[in-house]
Amino acid sequence: MSYKVLRLLQVDYLEGTLASKEATISQMQQSHDEMLRKIAHVTEGQAVSWQQQKTDIEEQYSHLVAELHTRQKVCRQHLLNLRRIPVTACLSEA
C-alpha cells in the first residue's frame, strides 16, 4: 500500500475514534444532566418535607407551651386557694 492510502486509513480511523468519543461524551453529559435533574427534584421534595415537619413541630411546641401555661394558672390558683385555708382549720380536722 502506498503512503497516501495508509495515511487516509489512519485519518479515517482517527475520525471514527473521535466521532465515537464525541458520542460517548455527549451520552455521558446527557446522563449527567438527567442525574442532576433527578437529584434536584429529590432535594426539592425533601426540602418541602422538612419544611412541613418544621411547621408541624413548631405547631406542636406552641400547643405544649399553651397547655403548660394553662396548667401553671390552674396550679397557681390551687396554691392560692390552699393559702387561704387557715392552718387552724387543717389542725382541727386531724
- What number is the average pLDDT over the span 62-74? 97
Domain boundaries, given as residue ranges, for the chain: 3-93
Query: What distance in Å separates the CA atoms of residue 92 and residue 85, rounded to the nearest whole number?
Result: 12
Claim: this prediction has a pTM higher than 0.85: no
Query: What distance in Å separates the CA atoms of residue 77 and residue 68, rounded to the nearest whole number?
Result: 14
The CB-side HSE value for 25 (13 A sphere, CA atoms) comes to: 6
Q: Average pLDDT, whole number, for the chain?
A: 91
86 three-state secondary structure: coil
Q: Give residue 85's pLDDT band: very low, low, confident or very high (50, 70, 90).
A: confident
pLDDT recorded at residue 88: 66
CA 13, distance to chain mean position in Å, is: 51
Cell, residue 83: 393559702
